Amino acid sequence: MTTYPASFCPDCGTELVDRHVDGRERRFCGSCSQVVWHNPAPCAGVGVVGEDGVLLAQRDVPPGRGEWSIPGGHMEADEPAPVAAARELAEETGLRVDPADLELVDCFHTSNGDGKYVVSVGYVVRAADCAGTATARDEVQAVGWFTPETFAAHDGVLHGDHTGRFRAAWDWFGSRA
């Protein structure tokens, strides 16, 4: 499978053609007689929530460099979603959390319109269950704790579909207070 529509066969290098398979046009290798599937990329993220709000990271990579998002990223092939979310949190913010402490909160499907689609699994965890101090690390310009109200007063932009996850994480925290 590929996350962008493929032009060439990943196995033999033959230029792919369009063929109608399973109800829609697919990229097809005539030499290997195989479909090169185009699938969404699985991602995972975690909203860390405390009295000061939800931890957001300001992206230092495209797409949406400079925008704020819930920490997260691509899953490794052999990585369960909560493990991926905990790893991305540590890489981006330095906060460490036991994947077993993460609670599922949402799942969204999105695209930047460039042919790549993402399915992102969202978790939440209390800040009190994390170790370390949040700082800007890999691919992050800055980190900050925001409630929906303080973020609205801040001059920032939330990245893509992270508005819903941000709100869901804050509401989850409020429902447990």
Binding positions for Zn ion, rule: CB under 5 A = 9, 11-12, 14, 29, 31-32
Dist. CA 37–CA 71, nearest whole Å: 28
CB of 33 to Zn ion, least distance (A): 8
Q: Report in angstroms how near the CB of residue 72 gets to Zn ion at its nearest.
A: 34
Residue that has been written with the tokens 């429902």 in this structure: 175
Q: What is the DSSP string of 47-114?
A: EEEETTEEEEEEE-SSSSTT-EE-SEEEPPTT--HHHHHHHHHHHHH--B--GGG-EEEEEEEEE-SS
Minimum gap (Å) between residue 128 Cβ and Zn ion: 53
Query: Toward Zn ion, which CB reaches closer, 6 or 86?
Result: 6
**Residue 32 or residue 41: which is nearer to Zn ion going by CB?**
32
84: left (phi over 0), alpha (psi -120 to 50) or beta: alpha
Task: List, in sequence order, every residue forming a beta bridge with 29; answer none if it has no partner.
Answer: 34
Residue closer to Zn ion, measured from CB, 11 or 149: 11
Q: Which is nearer to Zn ion, 7 or 14 (CB)?
A: 14
User: What is the β-pairing status of strands 117-126 and 41-50?
Assistant: parallel
* Identity of the residue, 12 or 107, whose beta carbon is nearer to Zn ion in the bound complex: 12
- The distance of closest approach from Cβ of residue 17 to Zn ion in the complex, given in angstroms and rounded to an integer, is 11
Q: Which residue is nearest to Zn ion (CB)?
A: 9
Residue 1 Cβ, how far from Zn ion at the closest point, in Å?
14
**CA 34 to CA 170: how far, in whole Å?**
46
